[in-house]
Homo-oligomer: A and B are copies of this chain.
Amino acid sequence: MSKSKINVGNFFEDFKIGQVIRHAAPRTVTVGEVALYTALYLPRFAVQSSTAFAQAIGYERAPIDDLLVFHLVLGKTVPDVSLNAIANLGYADFKFLIPVYPGDTLSATSEVIGLKENSNKETGVVYVRTTGANQRGETVLSYARWVMVKKRDRDAPVGPEIVPDLPKSVAPSELGKAAPPINVGAYDKALAGSRYIWGDYEQGEKIDHIDGMTVEEAEHQLATRLYQNNSKVHFNQYYEAQGRFGKRIIYGGHVISLARALSFNGLENVFHISAVNGGRHVNPLFAGGTVFAWSEVLEKAEIPGRQDIGALRLRLVATKDKPCADFPLHGAEGKPDPAVLLDLDYWGVLPR
């Protein structure tokens, strides 16, 4: 009886194709979350930092940072989707669709869109399509994600393998949905911190963001709790001391936010992440590590129907304890550089 009311998370064999999960704990996002997010990462993008700046260019007020929206939505899915996950494998078709403002309430729903048992029969890959909605029921964020989840029982029967067909990248025509029409004339580049806009970047250009940020245990714990992400590995040193690494693993999203904030130096006007094409957490990060980052312009795209903003497809790479002047990515023999933490492929938008 003692555990009957306890959520121990779903195991691979608990998921069914087409199953829709309404996740618990809707969350009202406020200026309180915004201030903490600033204190955790040091973002300086003017649109999110200043209501006056945001309103001047066309927002209702300063929107919630895209990644904060993502973390809050993902956090809700953890108890149902990834409490028994052993690896966070990937993201695809990840789009921000409507701006989120302080006072909005976010909730999340996931549909199981793919299931594939691994040959060891001890784990399987679960693919979900997660949507985050606001209090009016409008979808603010939609993404596909796949994670490797343990089976409760090696011998449990599972259904046929279904692997969803996911796009390699989000098409430019789908970008910019969460950016209102921007009054480019009112966009003050000096206040934003750089004179470089869309036309100033070139495909193939690489940028070393030069700064580094050391992460403390208290910081990543505060962040991950702020997102109501209750994944055990981030918080419980008693168990992790006996685990794979002997220490708490930092939530991968924490690294994304650190790298994004570091990328301000060189990408000051990329004020909005419109879509994520894909991403991998290449290595885990632990407290005490210092995160560095670099970016590469993979592609430049016009957004159909938008003269105000253009899109840059950017690779954002984060490393641990390794400055990025030589843009580390691959190590010896084609293996990833062991210092690489994150390899993210996203569409950022900036004024034209």
Interface on A for B, CB 8 Å cutoff?
Answer: 1-3, 5-8, 22, 24-28, 30-36, 38-42, 44-46, 49-53, 62, 79, 103, 105, 107, 135, 190-194, 196, 200, 205-214, 216-219, 221-223, 225-226, 228, 230, 232, 235-239, 248, 265-268, 288, 290, 292, 321, 323, 325, 327
Contacts and interface: CB of A to CB of B under 8 A. Distances in A.
Contact of A30 (B34, B209, B213, B228): B34
Contact of A211 (B42, B219, B236): B236
Given A7-B194, A38-B226, A51-B105, 12 more contacts: A2-B205, A24-B44, A25-B191, A26-B53, A30-B32, A32-B36, A33-B35, A42-B225, A211-B230, A211-B232, A218-B222, A238-B321
Interface centre among A26, A46, A222, A265 (most CB of B within 10 A): A26
A225 B40 contact: yes
Interface centre among A193, A206, A292, A325 (most CB of B within 10 A): A193
A54 to B, nearest CB: 9
Given A30-B31, A237-B290, A268 B24 contact: yes
A191 B107 contact: yes
A202 B53 CA distance: 47
Nearest to A105: B52
Contacts of A79: 193
A6 B208 contact: yes
A338 to B, nearest CB: 16
Contacts of A248: 214
